[in-house]
Amino acid sequence: MVDLATLLPDWLRDENMLALIAGAASLAVALMMWNAFLVKDALPGRIKNLEKRRTKLKTNIANQTKQRSKLIVRENIMHRVVKKLQLMRGERAKLIAAKLAKGGWRSKDALVAYLFARISLPALFAILTGTYLFGTGVVDWGFAVKLLVCAAAGLIGFILPDMLVKNRISKRYTAIRKSLPDGLDLLVICTEAGLNLDSGLDRVCREMANSAPELSDELGLTSIEIGFLPDRKMALANLASRVDFQAMQTLANTLVQTEKYGTPLAVALRVLAAEMRDERMMKAEEKAARLPAIMTVPMIIFILPALFIVLIGPAVLKAIDAFAGGG
């Protein structure tokens, strides 16, 4: 009969090694029993967390639905009023839509909100002013003066939407003008890397989405128009009409000429970016040169009187004391 101990390797015949193996086996059995009997099942906790998340999502969805329903009711009121008065028809509505597009508002809802504000704000301002003047009696003015003030408030309500749109357009143009040279440098890099115009505009749009969202928006829309319009000139002309200042019109004309005459696009864009930077530097120097003339009036009004008081004040006080002592 064969002894099993003779079949084992020499290192397993050692008593210490056998004790170590037995201890390891006992530890493994203990861990298995711990996992089987003592460790709590995580499934109920996960189910509870999922229920909490589901309840929270249902609450958020319900709140969003309520807010959306209120917004829909408000929009329906504006749409019904504008549609009833037929304000969306005619060339004037197209001109207003083009003006709003210059400010970055291109949706139909923006046009409806603008038209509704133009007809509702004058009446609202006039009614509120009339209620304050005629209802409270705080101001003791004549009837004609109160009517004139109500008419002025209505006029302010009529002008206010147009002022807000012009302010938005001015700020948007300033931001685009400031970031345009950097966008042209990126477009030069894209064209030198082998991208065509629409792909380069799309890449610049994605790269400048965070640093210059206004320019990114316009270049992205131009890239889309180049993709589906029959002629690139139409897309570039739309860009020049939306962003109506000299630098963007120059850029549109440059892109049209490079396509027409076969001029290298990267060279033309690099020259144009350098010209725009020089123009921006000249405007900054012009503003700096105007500062002394602008500061003259505040210096005369605020600084010189205080300087005269400091210099002449002690002498005047001494003279007053001398006359008072002599008297």
User: Cα separation of 228 and 196, whole Å?
Assistant: 15
User: Cα separation of 210 and 242, whole Å?
Assistant: 21
Above 50 in pLDDT, residue 303?
yes
Q: What is the pLDDT of residues 116-143, one digit of tens each?
A: 888 888 888 888 888 888 877 777 778 8
Q: What is the pLDDT of residues 227-243, one digit of tens each?
A: 888 888 888 888 888 88
User: Cα separation of 295 and 99, whole Å?
Assistant: 36
Q: What is the pLDDT of residues 259-277, one digit of tens each?
A: 788 778 888 888 888 888 8
Domain boundaries, the chain: 91-165, 173-287
Please say whether the dihedral angle defined by the alpha carbons of residues 179, 180, 181 and 186, taken in this order, is positive or negative. positive
User: Cα separation of 275 and 251, whole Å?
Assistant: 11
Spacing of C-alpha 9 from chain mean position:
76
Structure confidence at residue 167 (pLDDT)? 92
Q: What is the pLDDT of residues 137-164, one digit of tens each?
A: 777 778 888 889 888 988 998 899 899 9
Radius of gyration of the chain (CA): 39
C-alpha to C-alpha distances, 117 to 10, 106, 130, nearest whole angstrom = 97, 17, 19
Concatenated DSSP letters of 67-109: HHHHHHHHHHHHHHHHHHTTTT-SHHHHHHHHHHHHTT--SHH
C-alpha to C-alpha distances, 200 to 100, 193, 259, nearest whole angstrom = 27, 9, 15
User: Cα separation of 149 and 151, whole Å?
Assistant: 5
